Every structure is written in C-alpha cells, then in structure tokens.
Amino acid sequence: MEDLIPTRIEGLDQLLGGGIPRGHLVLVCGTPGTMKSTLCYTTMYNNAVHGQKGLYISLEQDGEHLRSSMAKLGMTDNGDNRVYILDLGMIRRELAEREVTKDWTRMLLDVARQAVQEDRYTMLTIDSLEAFYALASLDNPRRELFHLFNEMKELGITVFFISEVPIGSKVLAKNGEDFLADGMIMLQHVEVGETDVQLRLRCVKMRQMDHAPGWFAVHHDGERFLVSQVLSRRRRMVAEPDTPE
Ligand SMILES: Nc1ncnc2c1ncn2[C@@H]1O[C@H](COP(=O)(O)OP(=O)(O)O)[C@@H](O)[C@H]1O
Ligand SMILES: [Mg+2]
C-alpha cells in the first residue's frame, strides 16, 4: 500500500505490515511509564525529515519537560522544531487571549484544522485522552468523542491518541474509543522472574492492515527503539525442534 506512514522504528513496521495507513486515528494505550509518549514522539520525529510535519499536543505535561526527556534519548531539536510541541500552558494562554469558550472538543478540532490546512502538518499526537476528559468535563462523553474522532478523521491527518490506563485496571476504553479508532496499540510492563520487568507491545487492531497479532518485546537502548519477538524458552523449543535424522 503506497499511502502508509512507517514508524521507522526497527521491528515495528514489520509487525504492523508496513506502517500506519495515512489518516488513521490510532489509540496508544498503556499504564504510566510504558513509553507511550516516547513511541509517538519518536514516530513523528523519524518522519519529520521525510517531509511529514508532526505536532504533539500535550494536555498533560509541560512541553519543556517532554522536549528535554526526548533530547536525552537522542532526539535533539537543533532549534528547527522537528516535532512542534504545543502544551497546555500555551493553549491556555491562547484561549485567554482570544477569550473563546472553553469548549475543548472544538479547541482540539480548531488546532488540528489549522495545523493541517494552514501549516501543512500531517501527523498529530494528543496526550492524553484522560487529560482531555478531565479538562472538558463532558456531559455526554460518548457523543462528544464520536464527533471528535470523526472530525479528526475527516481532516486526513494521521493521529495518535494516547490513553493512560491506570495500573491494575482491566478497562481499556470506557467510551468505546477502541471501536471508534482505526487502530489500537497496547504497551504493557510484564514481570519476568522475580526482579525483571519487560516492556511489551501488541497491535490490537489496525484497519486495512494484515498485522501480527501477538505480543512483542520493546527495548530502548537510550538511542533507539527495537521491537522484536519475545524469546521465551518455551517458544524457542517450539521454533527450533530437533532436526530429524
Ligand atoms: N531505555 C529506556 N527504557 C525505558 N524507559 C526509558 C528508557 N530510557 C528512558 N526512559 C524513560 O522512561 C520514561 C517513560 O517514558 P514515557 O514515554 O514518558 O512513558 P508514558 O508516556 O507511557 O508514561 C521516560 O521518562 C523515558 O525517558
Ligand atoms: Mg506520557
């Protein structure tokens, strides 16, 4: 398929079947610290040099903090705003200046529309769904979300919507986000033995793609991501049976 946006993360594009179809809205879910922000930022950062402009809207942490933690992972900005970060403080100041109503659904759509139509952005991350709910205090979250997702899709921009899953929670999407989204990527910490924790990733859903269904190991060496098969002892034994005589 020609209109795929690759993540350019080693191992991830293979499991996705090539990349993410342009214009998809993809949920990236996981408990705190599972590198959701890093994954979305990295994908946009990797694509910026290939002409895809990325906008990161942080409703959660301040932009400087995000920028410095990404810089520590080698994604330095060099002053050219390779990924443009719009944080809550900036949005609040703008809202105050324009004295517009605090309709957060409309605000997000206005920002996305301007980003696409005037500034030629092609990728967007919104961090996070929960922060959006907290700010917006919606009367009818399901209906609002349906409207927000549909309008975003109409714009043709490829969107990562980060979803923070509380530790221990079994509920991934309380307003049907998983049904409305085109794709869903889950990140999870898995305890291995008594002391180790491994980060794993699973593509739960990706419309139009023949993606791998299982869990994969995610590693970040401080410079690059690597997504690879989980090598358990059992699987190795199954994968490499004794060769018959
Ligand atoms: N090699 C590494 N493996 C895991 N986490 C790392 C590594 N290097 C740095 N971190 C840090 O782990 C933190 C969690 O990543 P982040 O993307 O913010 O997670 P989330 O958005 O899911 O809460 C970040 O501060 C990140 O910089
Ligand atoms: Mg985060």
Q: Phi/psi at 109 (nearest 5 deg)?
A: -65, -40
Q: What is the largest CA-CA distance in the chain?
A: 80
Compute the average pLDDT of residues 2-14: 94
Would you state the pLDDT for residue 62?
A: 85
Q: Which of 35, 200, 221 to mutate to test the pocket of ligand 1 (most atoms within 8 A of CB)?
A: 35
Instruction: Pick the ligand that lies closest to the CA of residue 167.
Output: 1
Would you state the pLDDT for residue 70?
A: 94
Q: Are 127 and 60 in contact (CB under 8 A)?
A: yes
Degrees (nearest 5) of the Cα angle 150, 156, 157?
100
User: Tell me: the pLDDT tens digits for 112-157?
Assistant: 999 999 999 999 999 999 999 999 888 999 999 999 999 999 999 9
Q: In this model, does residue 243 exceed pLDDT 80?
A: no
**Has residue 245 been placed in a domain?**
no
C-alpha span between 138 and 174 (Å, rounded): 14
Confidence grade of residue 245 (pLDDT, cut at 50, 70, 90): very low
For residue 215, what is the domain's CATH number?
3.40.50.300
pLDDT averaged over every residue in the chain: 90
Coil, strand or helix at 59:
coil
Q: Is 43 in the pocket of ligand 1 (CB under 6 A)?
A: no
Angstrom CA distances, 219 to 21, 66, 232, stand at 24, 20, 15
Number of structural domains found in the chain: 1
**Has residue 33 been placed in a domain?**
yes
Give the predicted TM-score (pTM) of the model.
0.91
Compute the average pLDDT of residues 149-168: 94
Q: Is 220 in the pocket of ligand 1 (CB under 6 A)?
A: yes
Angstrom CA distances, 82 to 46, 210, 237, stand at 9, 31, 45
Would you state the pLDDT for residue 93?
A: 84
Distance 221 CA to ligand 2 centre (A): 18
Distance 97 CA to ligand 1 centre (A): 34
Confidence grade of residue 39 (pLDDT, cut at 50, 70, 90): very high
Q: Is 222 in the pocket of ligand 1 (CB under 6 A)?
A: yes
Distance 222 CA to ligand 1 centre (A): 9
**Has residue 244 been placed in a domain?**
no
Would you state the pLDDT for residue 176?
A: 85
137 or 189, greater pLDDT: 189
Instruction: Pick the ligand that lies closest to the CA of residue 130.
Output: 2
User: Tell me: the pLDDT tens digits for 217-242?
Assistant: 999 999 999 999 997 655 544 555 55
C-alpha span between 148 and 109 (Å, rounded): 7
Compute the average pLDDT of residues 181-196: 94
Distance 187 CA to ligand 1 centre (A): 12
Please name the residue whose Cα sits nearest to atom 13 of ligand 1. 33
